[in-house]
Each structure stands twice: as C-alpha cells, then as structure tokens.
C-alpha cells in the first residue's frame, strides 16, 4: 500500500503542478482570494468534501487589515470576470474568503491540516529568466504576486484532498483541511480560530515551502523561536496652516510622527528575550509651504513570546500617544494584524518524522527538528488554540530551491517538491487516524 500512495501522487503530479501554476496566475492578496477560494471550492466539492465558507468560518469583527469595500468589490468582480462561480463569490461578499473542507460530514474532525492561500500586494517580475513569466503563468493581476509559495500550498492541499478521498476507507474519523486567507500580515488565522474552525482538533499540522529549508529532500519537522507580532497603523491628525504667514496656527502631524518614529526605535531591548520594532512606512504632509496636518505610520512589533510582544506594543502605544501630546495633534491607532507565539509538539514532530522515513525523497541527513524560525506566521493562532484544548501541533518546512527569496518579485520554487509534500501529509494523516481508531 505504501507504494500505492506514492504512485497515486506520481500520477497526479502533472495536475498538481498545473494547479500551482493556475493559482499563481490568479494571485490575490489577503481578503481578496475570491478566485482562489472558488477554484478550490469547486475542486473540493467535486471530490465530495463538505465545505464551509463565509461567516461560518470567519468571525467578522476579528478580521484584521480588511481592504476598503471598493477594493474588495473590484477584486470580486475580477474573479467573476476570470471565470469564478458568481454564487461562490457572493458567499464571500465583504472579503469573507477562505474555505474549510471536511472529508465527511461527521463525526467532528480531530485532525486538521492548514494551507494558506493568499498572495502579496507586489509586482511580479516580467524578466525572461523568471520562469512564471517565461512559461506564461505569471500573475495576471496587476500588483498581486505569489512570492511566498502559497500557490504551492493551495495545490498541495488539493492534492492531499484528492488522495484522502481515494483512501477514505482507511480513515475511520474525519479530517479537516483549512484553506486560510490573509496569512501575509498575519490577519486570517485569528478570525478562523474565533469562528471555531479548530474546536475539537487534537492533531494539527501546517507546512511552508522553502523559507529555512532550501534544498530538495530537506525537511524541517518543527521550528522554535516563533515571534509573536502586532501590526498597526498610527494616524496623527493636526491642523494645516500657511507655513510662512501663520505657522503658529498649524498643528504639525509630521513632527509628531517623526518624533514617535525615533522614540519607537528607542524602546529598550528586553532581558527576557528577543524583541523587534519597525516603523516600516511614514507618510506625511502635502506641500512645502503647508504645515503638515496628517501623518500615517505603518508599524510592527515582535517578541520571542506573546508577553514580550505585548510589552513592546504597550510601550509603543505610550510613545505614540505622548508624541501626539507634544505636538497637540489627534492620534488614532488601528490594529492591522497580529499573532501569538507558538511551539511545536514533539509528538507531532515524531508523526512527521515517521511519515518522512518511509519516503526516499527526503534525505535522512537533511531531516531536522527544532530549527530557529525568528519570524511570524499566524499558524501560531491555530497551534496555540489546539494546544490549549490538549491537542498537539507542528509547523514544518519542506525544502525546495528558490529562484529568489520570499517576498521578492522573482520568487519561484522547484515544483518537484509539490507531490512529495502532499505524500508526506497524506502519510501523516493515515498514521494519525490509525492511532485514533
Ligand atoms: Zn510570506
Ligand atoms: Zn508564506
């Protein structure tokens, strides 16, 4: 039977690569994954999966960093123009994208796999050496690009689904596949957790292509040093005035923001562990002879633990408020994203290790565990929720050569990783369901 799973995936491989390329060409950033979700929903529906969408899987008020209505509506129209089923797109109205697919209607699933499906709001390279451009599957959507490999994640999820369907007799319980929107900017997991998507889940696995695993045959079974993070926009509102005639009548939002930016970066390091803060963008003012009345900053904090990040966030808010006081301008803070820290459970790491041991694709000398992550993925929200109810979770990285780093317009990966990644997850699910039977 071991051969059979491998053979099934070998046979499916050209299709898996095709799905990846189709998803790549229809890149959609967070909360606008209308085409992507509809494509997956149709394929999973045909495979007999039980689908949940919209407000059933997302707690509306917990969604962070949702684009403006006009942006959502334009993206929804574009998806329909590109052939998405209008009925499915309607179910996602207002940016309720993403999908939960259960192998069977009952019992409640205890095993869940998560695949993030969003692209980045950036331009893809059109250079001839960039394979998606050369082989005609580059993003058709201006300013939207799959530069993190989530197109691959979606394709792997679909492949896992089709194989699990064929092996369903061997799976006594139920399995849930979570297709998460808006991972970039860490916005999509928390609303899914709050809608109960991982309630009752005892075993949870998520994977990322590449990142810290950059060779074919490499596998990181579990990571350490997740960073908890908060993403927020600070807006200062002052009063404009003539810079020559009546500067004293103005309230200078630019100076408040500049003062805040320097002092945010002056928050001291913490003895309890790593912290970060970045003012990544500062926009202010209109013209050289106008006292600037508005400034917006895009800021993030991170911490080695949720507590460390919370402390950075609280200090940042004090700096921002008091800079507003110094310049007598209004201050408003808007939370745009955020996630907790996480840890990988040894039990789930072992499940993946055993699954990989049966696959010659993974090279034993390149299978590792406990690798430093030093970044954030809001998979941590799912993992913490599963662990809080007594379950176990891990976040793995599956090795692949990259043409350029993550979040680069020339990002591309070696597609030979796709079928083996799906095989690894199928094997893990079979092992978990056998253990639970
Ligand atoms: Zn990314
Ligand atoms: Zn990513």
Distance 407 CA to ligand 2 centre (A): 8
Query: What's the gap in Å between 111 CA and the centre of ligand 1?
Result: 25
Share of the chain above pLDDT 70, in %: 99
**229-339 maps to which CATH number?**
3.30.70.360
pLDDT band at 437 (very low <50, low <70, confident <90, very high): low
**What distance in angstroms lies between residue 118's CA and the mean position of ligand 1's atoms?**
9
CA angle at 262 for the pair 256 and 263, rounded to the nearest 5°: 85
Cα 301 to ligand 2 centre (Å)? 19
Q: Where are the domains of the chain?
A: 2-226+342-436, 229-339
pLDDT at 2: 47
Q: Per-residue b/e over 73-94, b at no fewer than 16 CB within 10 Å? A: eebbebbbeeebbeebbebbeb
Share of the chain above pLDDT 90, in %: 97
Which ligand number lies closest to the CA of residue 121? 1
Fold that domain 2-226+342-436 belongs to in CATH: Aminopeptidase (3.40.630)
Residue 1's pLDDT is what?
A: 47
Ligand nearest to the CA of 150: 2
Ligand in nearest proximity to the CA of 210: 2
Over residues 230-269, the pLDDT tens digits come to: 999 999 999 999 999 999 999 999 999 999 999 999 999 9
- What is the CA(411)–ligand 1 centre distance, in A? 11
Distance 209 CA to ligand 2 centre (A): 8
Distance CA 114, CA 207 (A): 8
Residue 333 and residue 329: Cα distance in Å, rounded? 13
Query: For residue range 344-392, what is the model confidence (pLDDT) as tens digits?
Result: 999 999 999 999 999 999 999 999 999 999 889 999 999 999 999 999 9
Packing angle of the helix pair 34-46, 69-81 (nearest 10 deg): 50
Ligand 2 centroid distance, CA of 290 (Å): 42
Q: What is the pTM of this model?
A: 0.93
Distance 212 CA to ligand 1 centre (A): 12
Pick the ligand that lies closest to the CA of residue 405.
1
Task: Tell me the sheet residues that pair with 200.
Answer: none
Question: Residue 153: nearest ligand to its CA?
Answer: 2
CA–centroid distance, residue 264 to ligand 1 (Å): 25
Q: How far is the CA of 228 from the centre of ligand 2 (A)?
A: 16
331 CA from centroid of ligand 1 (Å): 30
């Amino acid at each position: 039977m071991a051969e059979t799973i491998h053979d099934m995936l070998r046979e499916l491989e050209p299709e898996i690569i095709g799905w990846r390329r189709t998803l790549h060409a229809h890149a959609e950033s967070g909360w606008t994954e209308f085409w992507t979700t509809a494509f997956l929903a149709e394929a999973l529906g045909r495979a007999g999966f039980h689908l949940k969408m919209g407000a059933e899987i997302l707690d509306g008020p917990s969604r962070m960093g949702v684009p403006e209505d006009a942006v959502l509506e334009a993206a929804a129209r574009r998806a329909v123009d590109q052939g998405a089923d209008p009925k499915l797109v309607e179910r996602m109205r207002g940016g309720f994208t993403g999908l939960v697919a259960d192998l069977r209607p009952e019992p409640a699933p205890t095993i869940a796999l998560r695949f993030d499906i969003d692209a980045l709001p950036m331009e893809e390279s059109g250079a001839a050496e960039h394979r998606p451009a050369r082989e005609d599957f580059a993003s058709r959507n201006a300013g939207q690009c799959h530069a993190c490999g989530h197109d691959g994640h979606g394709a792997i999820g679909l492949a896992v689904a089709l194989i699990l369907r064929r092996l369903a007799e061997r799976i006594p319980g139920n399995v849930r596949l979570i297709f998460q929107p808006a991972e970039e900017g860490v916005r999509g997991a928390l609303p899914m957790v709050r809608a109960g998507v991982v309630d009752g889940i005892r075993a949870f696995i998520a994977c990322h292509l590449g990142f810290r695993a950059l060779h074919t045959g490499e596998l990181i079974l579990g990571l350490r040093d997740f960073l908890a993070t908060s993403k927020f926009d600070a807006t200062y509102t002052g009063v404009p005035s003539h810079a020559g005639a009546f500067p004293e009548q103005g309230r200078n939002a630019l100076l408040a923001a500049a003062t805040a930016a320097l002092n945010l970066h002056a928050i001291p390091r913490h003895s309890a562990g790593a912290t970060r803060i970045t003012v990544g963008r500062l926009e202010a003012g209109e013209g050289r002879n106008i006292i600037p009345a508005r400034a917006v900053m895009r800021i993030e904090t991170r911490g080695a633990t949720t507590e460390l990040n919370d402390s950075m966030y609280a200090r940042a808010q004090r700096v921002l408020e008091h800079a507003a006081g110094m310049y007598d301008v209004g201050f408003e803070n808007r939370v745009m994203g955020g996630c907790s820290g996480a840890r990988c459970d040894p039990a789930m790491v072992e499940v993946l290790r055993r699954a990989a041991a049966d696959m010659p694709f993974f090279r034993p000398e390149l299978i590792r565990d406990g690798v430093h992550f030093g970044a954030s993925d809001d998979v941590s929200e799912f993992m913490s929720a599963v662990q809080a109810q007594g379950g176990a979770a891990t976040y793995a990285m599956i090795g692949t050569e990259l043409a350029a780093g993550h979040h680069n317009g020339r990002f591309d990966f070696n597609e030979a990783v796709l079928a083996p990644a799906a095989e690894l997850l199928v094997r893990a699910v079979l092992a978990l369901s056998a253990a639970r039977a």
